[in-house]
């Protein structure tokens, strides 16, 4: 390959791209091997009986795989799934032109167009993929069957090719994605005019090549043909072409500018030019074409990178996932557990030998003799057992697993796995909060990639609504689509920020509990912690508060009545000084008169208020 040859730049000729297509095919083969190895490590695809037949395992030896990689992936997935699904909205919109405009109607309509039937599947696959391999790739595709005429597809590790030193997908000179078509599908694409019939025949006349040779051993079990879709730029515009480098000598579908549904209105000078051309040719202007605008071809690849972790090394191929991080720990735990169980099995058996001190007594005698119950043994033998391993091996396994949980930010699981008596509720609570804060960092990284995906999808939806190609839109909402909006996933507010708010409110509750704001504070906290059940809980609290207030009001009314009766008695006593003795008139009666005057003033004040 001539690295100094620049003929491929801005060229659509297949010969100019042959070297790069071969490199891409080589990358796909390497990624296929890497992906298969990662899956074997994660799921430990080991044939125990086959290993015994090959002599790798003894007949009484066990191998007990510990699926730490898969376990850690599944434990972390709850944070991502919660982020994606818990919010009733798909995205939050903020107007770039009129910040004060209310976006609720737009958010509801956009949610219905982003959350179509099966919308979770590509996101769940992407989450699982970047956890396992270190990164995942999502492609935004044009699909008129979807409510927003746009969808997203997850691209598996072995199906996306790029140069190994790539740091930014948008800087790649060429990217490729593998597809797997049946012979019927290829013929249909030829019939539809998408694929070249000569090149297509080269593909389906050969054997299927779906890269499943590691698991499929019979040609009758293979039916898929691997075809590549490649993208590269020509004069700054992304072009897309189809090929099969291993079987074809030219493009299966020639390069064309990439269109994924985005449209823009014609400029005034373009409309004027169309009118002039119409006058010259005598053909009327296509009003519908003028209304929907012109196709906008993409200048960026429609692929979004979802990294698992961020480090100082930003090379995409160097991003690491759980397979890389946990494989040694998984192998160590599996080895310890297998050795422990095998040793116990052997220690539980009975072993026999001849009771003799002559080392040559066994010469030329039968080996591997098995004893049966009730059999007569002609010879003096002795019985013995192997020593069982110490139970500390189990603790060693737990130590390895707990250390791994700490490494994966699952310090709460590590605390719960400890067997000592010093474990407290406070420690578990602190560990849980720490795990939440650590997992939040990864979810924020996920949200950034999801924001890029949603922003691109929104721009496509917006352009098609403005063009009138999506017609089931409320006129009021259509006016909102005409504005420019910044989009971010609703999980940023509804999940991440809410969790941070909940932790802060929980910390402040002991102080607020003693203030008049305690009831309103508790209602807000319940609303954030349990949004679906909050209405039920708040209603119960309000009913209890109303009952308490009613009881307090009744008690207060009874006390007021008693006070009124007592005041009236004091006034009666003040009107009858003869009820008092001479000593009482001197000592008690003046106080009664003062009290009666005070009662009279209070009654007059109360009458004025009413």
Reply yes or no on whether the pLDDT at 82 is more than 80. yes
Q: What is the mean pLDDT of residues 294-316?
A: 92
Q: Identify whether the C-beta of residue 132 lies closer than 8 Å to the C-beta of residue 73.
A: yes
Strands (E), 261-377: 263-264, 294-295, 303-307, 351-354
Q: Which of 241-245, 271-275, 459-463 has the lowest mean pLDDT?
A: 271-275
Q: What is the mean pLDDT of residues 119-128?
A: 95
Q: Identify whether the C-beta of residue 523 lies closer than 8 Å to the C-beta of residue 543.
A: no
Q: What is the mean pLDDT of residues 67-88?
A: 88
Residue with the bigger pLDDT between 242 and 410: it is 242
Which pLDDT does position 406 carry in this prediction? 58
DSSP label at 317?
G
Q: What is the mean pLDDT of residues 89-99?
A: 88
Percent of the chain past pLDDT 70, that is, above it, reads 84
What is the Cα–Cα distance from 450 to 127, expressed in whole angstroms? Answer: 11
Which pLDDT does position 433 carry in this prediction? 47
Residue with the bigger pLDDT between 529 and 335: it is 335
Q: How far is CA 166 from CA 92, 209, 407, in A?
A: 32, 28, 28
Q: What is the mean pLDDT of residues 526-548?
A: 79
Q: Strand, coil or helix: what is 378?
A: coil
Reply yes or no on whether the pLDDT at 14 is more than 90. yes
Which pLDDT does position 267 carry in this prediction? 77
- DSSP string of 165-231? T-S-GGG-SEEEEEEEE-HHHHHHHHHTTSS-HHHHHHHHTS----S-TTT---GGG---EEEEEEE
Nearest alpha carbon to residue 304 among 135, 90, 460: 135
Q: What is the mean pLDDT of residues 128-140?
A: 96
Which pLDDT does position 431 carry in this prediction? 44
Which pLDDT does position 387 carry in this prediction? 78
Reply yes or no on whether the pLDDT at 462 is more than 80. yes
Which pLDDT does position 129 carry in this prediction? 96
For the stretch 483-516, pLDDT in tens is 999 998 987 776 666 667 788 888 888 888 888 8
Please tell me the pTM assigned to this model: 0.74
**What residues does 243 pair with on adjacent strands?**
228
- Residue 287's pLDDT band, with cuts at 50, 70 and 90, is low
125 Cβ contact list (under 8 Å, min separation 6): 136, 154
Residue with the bigger pLDDT between 373 and 123: it is 123
Q: What is the mean pLDDT of residues 451-459?
A: 95
């Amino acid at each position: 390959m001539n690295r100094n040859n620049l003929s491929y730049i801005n060229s659509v000729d297949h010969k100019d791209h042959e070297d790069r297509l071969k490199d891409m095919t080589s990358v796909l083969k390497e990624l296929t091997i890497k992906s298969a190895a990662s899956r074997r490590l994660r799921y430990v695809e080991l044939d125990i009986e086959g290993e015994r037949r090959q002599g790798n395992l003894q007949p009484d030896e066990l191998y007990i795989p510990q699926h730490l990689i898969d376990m850690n992936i599944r434990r972390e997935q709850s944070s991502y799934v919660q982020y994606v699904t818990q919010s009733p909205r798909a995205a939050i919109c903020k107007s770039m032109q009129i910040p004060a405009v209310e976006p609720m109607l737009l958010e509801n309509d956009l949610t219905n167009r982003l959350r179509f039937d099966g919308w979770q599947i590509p996101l769940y696959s992407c989450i699982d993929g970047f956890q396992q391999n270190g990164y995942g790739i999502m492609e935004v595709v044009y699909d008129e069957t979807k409510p927003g005429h746009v969808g997203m597809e997850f691209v598996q590790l072995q199906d996306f090719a790029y140069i190994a030193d790539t740091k930014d997908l948008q800087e790649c000179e060429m990217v490729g994605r593998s597809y797997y078509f049946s012979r019927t599908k290829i013929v249909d694409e030829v019939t539809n005019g998408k694929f070249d019939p000569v090149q297509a025949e080269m593909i389906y006349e050969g054997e299927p090549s779906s890269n499943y040779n590691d698991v499929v051993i019979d040609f009758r079990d293979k039916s898929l043909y691997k075809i590549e879709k490649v993208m590269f730029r020509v004069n700054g515009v992304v072009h897309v072409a189809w090929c099969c480098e291993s079987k074809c000598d030219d493009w299966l579908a020639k390069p064309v500018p990439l269109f994924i549904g985005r449209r823009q209105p014609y400029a005034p000078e373009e409309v004027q030019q169309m009118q002039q051309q119409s006058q010259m040719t005598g053909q009327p202007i296509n009003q519908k074409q003028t209304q929907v605008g012109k196709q906008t071809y993409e200048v960026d690849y429609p692929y979004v990178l979802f990294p698992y972790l961020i480090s100082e090394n930003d090379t995409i191929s160097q991003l690491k996932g759980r397979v890389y991080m946990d494989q040694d720990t998984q192998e160590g735990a599996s080895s310890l557990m297998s050795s422990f169980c095998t040793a116990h099995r052997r220690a539980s058996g009975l072993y026999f030998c001849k009771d003799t001190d002559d080392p040559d007594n066994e010469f030329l005698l039968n080996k591997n003799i098995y004893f049966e119950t009730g059999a007569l043994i002609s010879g003096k033998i002795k019985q013995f057992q192997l020593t069982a391993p110490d139970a500390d091996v189990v603790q060693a396994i737990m130590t390895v697993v707990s250390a791994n949980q700490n490494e994966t930010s699952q310090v709460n699981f590590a605390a719960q796995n400890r067997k000592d008596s010093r474990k407290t509720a406070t420690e578990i609570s602190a560990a849980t909060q720490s795990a939440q804060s650590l997992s939040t960092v990864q979810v924020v990284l996920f949200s950034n990639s999801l924001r890029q995906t949603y922003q691109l999808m929104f721009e496509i939806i917006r352009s098609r609504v403005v063009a009138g190609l999506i017609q089931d839109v409320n006129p009021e909402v259509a006016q909102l689509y005409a504005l420019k909006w910044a989009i971010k996933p609703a999980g940023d507010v509804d999940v991440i920020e809410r969790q941070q708010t909940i932790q802060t409110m929980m910390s402040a509750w002991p102080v607020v509990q003693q203030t008049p704001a305690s009831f309103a504070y508790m209602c807000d906290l319940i609303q954030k912690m349990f949004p679906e059940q909050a209405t039920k809980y708040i209603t119960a609290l309000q009913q209890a508060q109303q009952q308490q207030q009613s009881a307090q009001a009744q008690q207060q009314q009874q006390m007021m009545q008693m006070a009124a009766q007592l005041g009236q008695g004091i006034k009666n006593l003040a009107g009858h000084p003869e009820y008092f003795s001479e000593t009482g008139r001197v000592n008690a009666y003046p106080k009664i008169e003062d009290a009666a005057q005070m009662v009279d003033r209070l009654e007059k004040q109360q009458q004025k208020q009413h």
